[in-house]
Amino acid sequence: MPQTLFAKIWESHRVADTAAGSSLIAVDRVFLHERTGAAALNGMVAAGRSVRDPARVFAVTDHIVDTRPGRGDATLMPGGQAFITETRAACAAAGITLFDVNDRDQGIVHVISPELGIVLPGATLVAPDSHTCTQGAFGALAWGIGSSEAEHAMVTGTLRMVRPRTMRVTYTGALSPGVTAKDMALTLIAAHGAGGGAGHVIEFAGEAVEALDIEARMTLCNMATEFAAVTAIIAPDAKTYAALAGTRYAPADFDAPYWQALASDEGAVFDAEIVMDAAAIAPMVSWGTSPEQSVAVGAVIPQGPQRAHDYIGLAAGERLAGTPIDAAFIGSCTNARLSDLRRAAAILKGRRIAPGIRSALVVPGSSAVRRAAEAEGLDRVFTDAGFEWRESGCSLCFYAGGEGFAPGSRTISSTNRNFEGRQGPGIRTHIASPETVAASAIAGVIADPRDYTP
């Protein structure tokens, strides 16, 4: 019987079935960060348990680590330093590899995992972080879990799981110029709701997905958690193997038949199917407080829940384009890889951010991305335009209680969540592609990136 890619990975990791209808699924990699990882490690030690195979568990400091130049353990978040020092001590005690504050491989967990070849096609990887789905772009089954489940995975090498359903989302045709993977994801979520993928593992497929470079595929998979999916996956191809070849933890030879078989078979049946027309997608911007509340940048805002209109301060019938903004943020595991920074810099080159912008920040997704960007001179393009250039980390993708935007700021952001208060109390977030953030920063109002294409 033809099998889906998900089914192949599931079956190859199914250790046993339980009496209650779940399965023990082998976990190949666990990745922790200091925000939720210390809780998992402390819980494990308190219960008198230890890590089954420490060589396959990794950790990084990315969430609350300072991103200002010359950083150390001190954080702007009150009490944040303890998360870093406790994670460091717990990793040392457990024999876990930690990519520490000033390690050259430090960066956002989902950005550094493929840079180092920790995620692999056909493998299972879990992290106590919802955006672990990002790594499905490499043909891995990678999903986010809670701290207790992370403890379970570390101690037993498995997770107890009820088999999720499958959904294929096929993007036919080709994207128009200036339209990106971020816009593909926001269009899907706006059309089918933030709960539209609930309970499903989503395989992204179709010509428009095949045409995406590996970094853009990560952006698409990243947003699957905003669609309530268990995770997302994309069949690996030559681009996938080229991206992983030569990385530190990846095998040397991706030619074996094992890797070539990692695709859904012709005729494989999914529990649900959605087809999207890539050519019809325009640059998208969120108008409300859920990613499902997103529209094409030139469109009129529809009537949504009144609470969302009140929080964001925009009524139905108004247009996003032309709305004045106070701040611009380029960063996060969604859109802070080298290709994202290149595309934003291409728009910013030779231009200045508008005088009304009080805060404009670029935070590279990893220390390696930062070095590569600096080698190309992108940092100077950003700083010449009036952006601040930072060390790598999650930074203002979320508000931890320390550094923040000015109260009430309307912020255009290349991140993934526009929830009430996500970027700080009262902060009104509009999520969009890095191009749209760059164009809006120049205009001082929400702007269509296609009007600023170099």
Partner 1 sequence: MTPFTTLTSIVVPLLRDNIDTDTIIPSREMRSTGRTGLADGLFAPWRYVEARVPDPAFTLNQPAFARAAILASGANFGCGSSREHAVWALSEWGIRAVIATSFAPIFAGNCVRNGVLAVVLERDAIAALAGHETRIDLAAQTVSAGAASWAFAIDPESKSMLLEGLDAIDLTLKSRAAIDAWTAQDRTLRPWVYLERAA
Selected from 416, 423, 436, 440, the binder of ligand SF4 by CB under 6 A is 416
Partner from ligand SF4, partner 1, none contacting 18, C-beta within 5 to 8 A by type: partner 1
- The answer to whether residue 182 forms part of the interface with ligand SF4 (CB under 6 A) is no
Stretch that binds ligand SF4, among 21-29, 98-106, 242-250, 393-401 (CB under 6 A): 393-401
- The answer to whether residue 333 forms part of the interface with ligand SF4 (CB under 6 A) is yes
Q: What's the rounded Cα separation, in Å, for the pair 268 and 275?
A: 16
- The answer to whether residue 398 forms part of the interface with ligand SF4 (CB under 6 A) is yes
| 143 and 224 Cβ atoms separated by less than 8 Å | no
Residue 9's closest CA among 274, 23, 205, 20? Answer: 23
Q: How far is the CB of 437 from ligand SF4 (least distance, A)?
A: 15
Partner from partner 1, ligand SF4, none contacting 218, C-beta within 5 to 8 A by type: none
Q: How far is the CB of 264 from ligand SF4 (least distance, A)?
A: 28
Rg (alpha carbons) of the chain, rounded to whole number: 21
Residue placing its CB nearer to partner 1 in the complex, 290 or 366: 290
Q: What's the rounded Cα separation, in Å, for the pair 227 and 274?
A: 13
- The answer to whether residue 332 forms part of the interface with ligand SF4 (CB under 6 A) is yes
Residue placing its CB nearer to ligand SF4 in the complex, 44 or 65: 65
Selected from 214, 397, 445, 446, the binder of ligand SF4 by CB under 6 A is 397
Instruction: State the burial class of residue 238 (Cβ atoms within 10 Å of its Cβ: 0-12, 13-18, 19+).
Output: exposed
| 217 and 182 Cβ atoms separated by less than 8 Å | no
Residue placing its CB nearer to partner 1 in the complex, 75 or 392: 75
The site for ligand SF4, by CB under 6 A, has a size of 11
Stretch that binds ligand SF4, among 90-98, 159-167, 371-379, 394-402 (CB under 6 A): 394-402
| 274 and 185 Cβ atoms separated by less than 8 Å | no
Residue 295's closest CA among 320, 260, 262? Answer: 320
Tell me phi and psi for residue 48, to 5 degrees: 75, 25
Residue placing its CB nearer to partner 1 in the complex, 215 or 292: 292
For residues 273-312, which are near ligand SF4 according to CB under 6 A? none
Cα–chain center distance at 353: 26
Q: How far is the CB of 24 from partner 1 (least distance, A)?
A: 6
For residues 121-140, which are near ligand SF4 according to CB under 6 A? 129, 131
Please report, for the chain, how many H helices and E strands are present, in that order: 15, 19
| 244 and 139 Cβ atoms separated by less than 8 Å | no
Residue placing its CB nearer to ligand SF4 in the complex, 30 or 296: 30
- The answer to whether residue 414 forms part of the interface with ligand SF4 (CB under 6 A) is no
Partner from partner 1, ligand SF4, none contacting 394, C-beta within 5 to 8 A by type: ligand SF4
Residue placing its CB nearer to ligand SF4 in the complex, 125 or 333: 333
Residue placing its CB nearer to ligand SF4 in the complex, 41 or 108: 108
Partner from partner 1, ligand SF4, none contacting 176, C-beta within 5 to 8 A by type: none
Q: Taking every pair of C-alpha atoms in the chain, what is the biggest distance, in angstroms?
A: 65
Residue that the structure tokens 């210390």 belong to: 38
CB atoms within 10 A of CB 388: 14
Partner from ligand SF4, partner 1, none contacting 332, C-beta within 5 to 8 A by type: ligand SF4
Per the structure block, which two tokens stand in for 392?
Answer: 């790598």
Residue placing its CB nearer to ligand SF4 in the complex, 288 or 291: 291
- The answer to whether residue 231 forms part of the interface with ligand SF4 (CB under 6 A) is no
SS3 assignment, position 41: helix
Q: Could you write out the DSSP letters of every residue in 115-140?
A: HTT-S-TT-EEEESSGGGGGGGGGT-
Residue 151: enclosing H or E segment and its boundaries? helix 147-156
Residue placing its CB nearer to ligand SF4 in the complex, 10 or 389: 389
What phi-psi label fits residue 53: left (phi over 0), alpha (psi between -120 and 50 degrees) or beta?
Answer: beta
Site residues (CB under 6 A) for ligand SF4?
63, 108, 129, 131, 332-333, 394, 397-398, 415-416
